[in-house]
Structure 1
Amino acid sequence: MTKSFTLVQLRYFGAVAKLENMTAAAAELNVTQSTLSSALSRLEQELGASLFTRLSSKGLRLTPAGKRLLLGSQAFLEDAELLYQSVRDEGEALAGELVVGIYLPLAPFKAPVILQAFETAYPNVKVSFHEGDQESLRQALLDGVCELALMYDLGVGPEFERRVLERIPPHVLVSAEHPRAAAPEEPVSLLDFASEPFILLDMKHTREYYLDMFKRVGISPLVRHKVSGYETVRSYVARGQGFSLLNQRLLHDSTYAGGAVVPLRIIEDLPPIEVSLVRPLGAKPTKKSMAFEQICEKLYGHES
């Protein structure tokens, strides 16, 4: 027997899922809380599944069934809106909101460029970026917080599908005062830095990637500082606290704390990081997210 639910119920559900609070969602939708609660109850009855776990002090959390509905309903609601526009002969210009996850160290490099290109092509779509580390982005995708994420391949398992945009090799980063900085065009070996203090970008999955570089050449790094900020790593290096390994390169060598850094190519054949667009496996993408993917491909898609 075909189940019957309404677009209004799905929209109400989406608002509550986003805000995780019934009162806040009712205010955003401009309906009474009793109306909202009644609509969600009917939706749960029609689907035969509980969509939220009620937490007395922390609001609402999606159940596994709720997460599946959220992933599927976004594209469904967008198709309904486009159908409405076509019937009214308003065209099918993309509109609405799109939340995209982005890995924190990538955000300063990629987000402004992508946002400018996307807003030029699709001025009626409001894009917001959800910044986080690899692990929090994985969870945000599975929870339906964002439809897709621009992130590294690190820790991305078979529950996701991804499209590789770039492959970026690691490089050694030293202070402009370091002896090796005098010849920045000459490649270096990690073995040359075995006795020097190391500044580690300490984020889950990222830290394991960098530490694995040393294992591959048979040495253990002398970790002096563990920091979670990309610019903090660069500033520590510039001030002579040690060397580091990074992938993304800035267009300039200056740092927030003063001083400069110099990137050096590594002679060893070490695995690059893959910058990828990641989605939950099997989730139907909205047209807005596919348009975002096409913009990213146009800007950065140099790899197949």
Structure 2
Amino acid sequence: MHSERAGRGTAGLERGDPLNWNDFSLRQLAHFVAIAETGTISGAAERLFMSPSALAASLAELERSLNANLCVRRRSHGVTLTPVGRVVLRGAKTLLGDASELSYLARGNAAELVGPLVVGCFVTLAPTVLPPLLEAFEAQHPKVTVDFVEGDQITLQEKLIEGELDIAVMYDLDITADLAALVLYEPRAYALFATDHPLASAESVSLEQLAVEPLALFNQPPSAHYAMSLFKNRDLVPLVRHRTQTLELTRSLVARNLAYAILVQRPRNKSSYEGRSIVEKEIRPAVEACPVILAWPRDATPSPRARAFAQLAREQYAS
């Protein structure tokens, strides 16, 4: 007679036991994730190069195995996840990620990292932060396939939480509690002028002086919020003349003396795209710092590749 302990082993589980791995497969979970992400069975079938009928059958089998309805299907309206489906989706992504990590571990060794790494970066930080980090990381870990995504603060956070990014470089402003973070460095805002602006010859400038001058507001979140908060903290209202979406347009407007700007990033090139000179001036008294951080999902365990990237970034920005 088999003991109870032996009967509870993986091979001896009875059908219906919640630990029966034979009830569903990683492939079925991958099919379900694709359906959830595309919102339709036909869209998921196109992504996975499968027939819609085969994908629908896979989903139905997964639901039977879990004894739960994961989606509500509406003709011409795609699928909507049920509350249980949303829970299963999070777990499915975790299981699929763990399975991928096993594959990468098997292909590498203790001293070698293998697999993908997707790094996000705030759009204005990317030109100065990403290249040196990517160059050093790829030299240390040549078998890691590194990709990156530039975006605004809101988009990067959404992609981190959804698992589309492993890690991201951004500002420590309006960060959701769902993310953990490591501070890389702590820059402060400065004022940018054309060389013939009246304040360009000053040693430093005050927010009171700036408030009455026309401002080119870099309108990418959270940059605009940070700049406006500096004035608000001193009960000032700046004179916003232009709102821009790119750093270089902001600098070009400044270089033509159409406005000044308040920025955080300090490119080594002290001229605009047109080759016109611009001048950086410190703001007095010193304004609140705007930390640059490395962020990742708080509830997810970073992959070995993400941990290696974080370690490299910590070393490069160590003071």
TM-score for the superposition, normalised by structure 1: 0.83
Q: 1:200 to 1:23 in 2, by over 3 A?
A: same
The structure 2 residue matched to 1:173, chosen from 182, 185, 192, is 192
- Residue type of the partner of 1:140? K
- How far residue 123 of structure 1 moved from its aligned partner, in angstroms, is 1.2
- Residue type of the partner of 1:167? E
Question: CA-to-partner distance for each residue in 1:243-287, whole Å, 9 max, x for gaps?
Answer: 111111011111113312111111123211111111222112111
Indicate conservation of the 8 Å contact 1:166/1:300, yes or no.
Answer: yes
Unaligned 5+ runs, structure 2: 1-17
Which residue does 2:144 correspond to in 1?
A: 125
Which residue does 2:109 correspond to in 1?
A: 91
- How far residue 72 of structure 1 moved from its aligned partner, in angstroms, is 2.0
Which residue does 1:240 correspond to in 2?
A: 257
1:33-48 maps to which residues of 2 (within 5 A)?
Answer: 38-47=57-66
The higher-RCO structure (CA 8 Å, 6+ apart) is: 1
- How far residue 61 of structure 1 moved from its aligned partner, in angstroms, is 8.2
Aligned pair count reads 293
Matched, 1:204 2:221: yes
- How far residue 49 of structure 1 moved from its aligned partner, in angstroms, is 5.8
The structure 1 residue matched to 2:206, chosen from 189, 198, 211, is 189
Secondary structure in structure 2 of the residue aligned to 1:209: helix
The structure 2 residue matched to 1:251, chosen from 249, 256, 268, is 268
Q: 1:276 to 1:260 in 2, by over 3 A?
A: same
Q: 1:23 to 1:293 in 2, by over 3 A?
A: same
Range 45-54 or range 239-248, more displaced:
45-54
CA distance in 2, matches of 1:55, 1:204: 37
Indicate conservation of the 8 Å contact 2:104/2:115, yes or no.
Answer: no
Q: 1:51 to 1:201 in 2, by over 3 A?
A: farther
Which residue does 1:151 correspond to in 2?
A: 170
The structure 2 residue matched to 1:65, chosen from 74, 77, 87, is 87
Which protein shows a greater Rg? Answer: 2
CA distance in 2, matches of 1:2, 1:141: 30
Q: 1:122 to 1:229 in 2, by over 3 A?
A: same
Which residue does 1:162 correspond to in 2?
A: 181
Question: CA-to-partner distance for each residue in 1:61-81, whole Å, 9 max, x for gaps?
Answer: 886336523652364124311
Q: Percent identity?
A: 33
- Residue type of the partner of 2:139? T
- Residue type of the partner of 1:175? A
Unaligned 5+ runs, structure 1: none
The structure 1 residue matched to 2:238, chosen from 215, 218, 221, is 221
Secondary structure in structure 2 of the residue aligned to 1:72: helix
Secondary structure in structure 2 of the residue aligned to 1:217: coil
Question: CA-to-partner distance for each residue in 1:38-73, whole Å, 9 max, x for gaps?
Answer: 545544554556667878789778863365236523
- How far residue 10 of structure 1 moved from its aligned partner, in angstroms, is 5.0
1:51-62 maps to which residues of 2 (within 5 A)?
Answer: none
Secondary structure in structure 1 of the residue aligned to 2:248: helix
CA distance in 2, matches of 1:122, 1:53: 44
The structure 2 residue matched to 1:141, chosen from 160, 178, 198, is 160
- How far residue 25 of structure 1 moved from its aligned partner, in angstroms, is 2.9
Question: CA-to-partner distance for each residue in 1:100-124, whole Å, 9 max, x for gaps?
Answer: 2211111111122211111111111
CA distance in 2, matches of 1:255, 1:56: 54
- Residue type of the partner of 2:199? R
Which residue does 2:304 correspond to in 1?
A: 287
- How far residue 168 of structure 1 moved from its aligned partner, in angstroms, is 0.8
Q: CA RMSD in A?
A: 2.9
Q: 1:287 to 1:198 in 2, by over 3 A?
A: same
CA distance in 1, matches of 2:218, 2:116: 33
- How far residue 217 of structure 1 moved from its aligned partner, in angstroms, is 2.2
- Residue type of the partner of 2:276? G
Q: 1:244 to 1:269 in 2, by over 3 A?
A: same
- Residue type of the partner of 1:292? F
Matched, 1:269 2:286: yes
Indicate conservation of the 8 Å contact 2:117/2:305, yes or no.
Answer: yes
